[in-house]
Amino acid sequence: MKNLFLISYLDIRESLRSKWFYVYAFVFGGLMGLFFISGITDSVVMGFTGLSRLLLVFMQVTIVILPIFILITTVKSISGDRESNILEYMLSFPISLKEYYWGKFLGRFVTVFFPVFVALLVGVLWGLFKGGAIPWGMVILYSLLILSLCLSFLGVAFFISTLVKSHDVGLGLSFAVWVLLLAFIDVALIGLMMQNRVSDGVVITIAMLNPLEAFRIGAIALFDPELTVIGPVAYYLLDTLGHGFLMLYAVVYPIVVGALFAFFGYALFRKKDLL
């Protein structure tokens, strides 16, 4: 275990010196912090009714940018090290593949999650400073949703990173996964729904198997428990799952997806040639 934490520590130190980390922290920390600060204070303290629109914009930003940022910065974790022969040297020391892989995973999780989480905390502190009541339940759930989304895409990114030999192929694959989950599945499902070839229940189930969709619904449900902005699908989801289970699903399911992909990635890392 000591080597696992050593690898994590070194990965974090390395990330903290990287330009991508500063861009990441600036884009997400700053943007999310600003959005969240204005969102929470406006809705809880002043009771603005137009908040849902603002939050939808905010969620769209998160949904679009967070996954691609995680994928692009993480996919080079193993494949980039392999291509540049760093992996060959670092793995010539007596550390197990388990410690190396999961140490990298842990380190990268810290660097992608904490800037967003810290921005959230800053928002909360700012709300407290202004004297407003903080909806702690919402803050905790939102943190869990972001954690869940981060883990989900970290798992996918590590899987891609171990699957491919070339960093460029990894980037291409990451982009394909991002576009698929962000838009292509939805477009295909809308087409299916319009043609009435399969039942609406099947279409909605397929849509909800997309971790990005699970996050989107969970995030909307946080601020709009009736899910009015998503139209009639809300009735199906709330009647079938109920609000509580829907939230649980939105948090747990992406983590399960991420964990599965991370474990598949680890299995590949162990079974394939390292270089």
Partner 1 sequence: METSTVIVDVENVRKRFQGATVLDNVNLQISLGDRVAMMGPNGAGKTTLVRCILGFYHIDGGRIQVAGHDPVKERVEVLKSVGFIPQLPPPVKLTVAELLRFVERSSGTSAEMIAQKAREMELDVVKHSQKPFFKLSGGMKQKLLIAIALARRSRLLVFDEPTASLDPRAREHFYEMLQAIDYEHAAIYITHRAEELAGLVNREIYMDLGKVVDDERV
Residues engaged in binding partner 1 (CB under 8 A): 2-3, 6, 10, 13-14, 17-18, 84-86, 88-97, 271-275
Q: Cβ 270 to partner 1, closest distance in Å?
A: 9
The Cα–Cα gap between 159 and 78 comes to: 10
Closer CB to partner 1, 96 or 205, in the complex: 96
Nearest to 164, CA basis, from 76, 103, 88, 87 = 76
The Cα–Cα gap between 9 and 6 comes to: 5
Closer CB to partner 1, 85 or 199, in the complex: 85
Q: Cβ 261 to partner 1, closest distance in Å?
A: 22
Helix 233-271 and helix 97-129: axis angle, to 10°? 140
DSSP label of 91: T
Closer CB to partner 1, 14 or 226, in the complex: 14
Written as six digits, the tokens of 126 are 């700012």
Q: Cβ 4 to partner 1, closest distance in Å?
A: 11
Written as six digits, the tokens of 189 are 């499902």
Closer CB to partner 1, 63 or 95, in the complex: 95
Q: Is the CA virtual torsion 88, 94, 96, 99 positive or negative?
A: negative
Q: Cβ 132 to partner 1, closest distance in Å?
A: 43
